[in-house]
Amino acid sequence: MPTLEFKGKQHIYAHHLTVPYRRTKRTTMFDNLTELIKKYISAKTQRLNLKRG
């Protein structure tokens, strides 16, 4: 299998090991976006139901 070799590869790998692992925090922006999408879909569904009925 081919490997990628370049100057400084070991430094990048070593840096990768020294950076602490941490989980990303969930932001409220995504919660707000989810709520907006739910409201939009609900409104669309209601409009379609009114047109049919």
Q: Where are the domains of the chain?
A: 27-53
Judge whether residue 27 has pLDDT over 70: no
Long-range contacts of 38-46 (CB under 8 A, 24+ apart): none
How many residues appear in the chain?
53
> Rounded to whole angstroms, how far apart are CA atoms 40 and 34?
10
Q: Is the pLDDT at 50 greater than 70, yes or no?
A: yes
pLDDT in tens, 38-49: 888 888 888 888
How far apart (Å, rounded) are the C-alpha atoms in residues 53 and 48?
A: 9
pLDDT tier at 53 (50, 70, 90 boundaries)? low
Answer yes or no: is pLDDT of 31 > 80: no
Rounded to two decimals, the pTM is 0.39
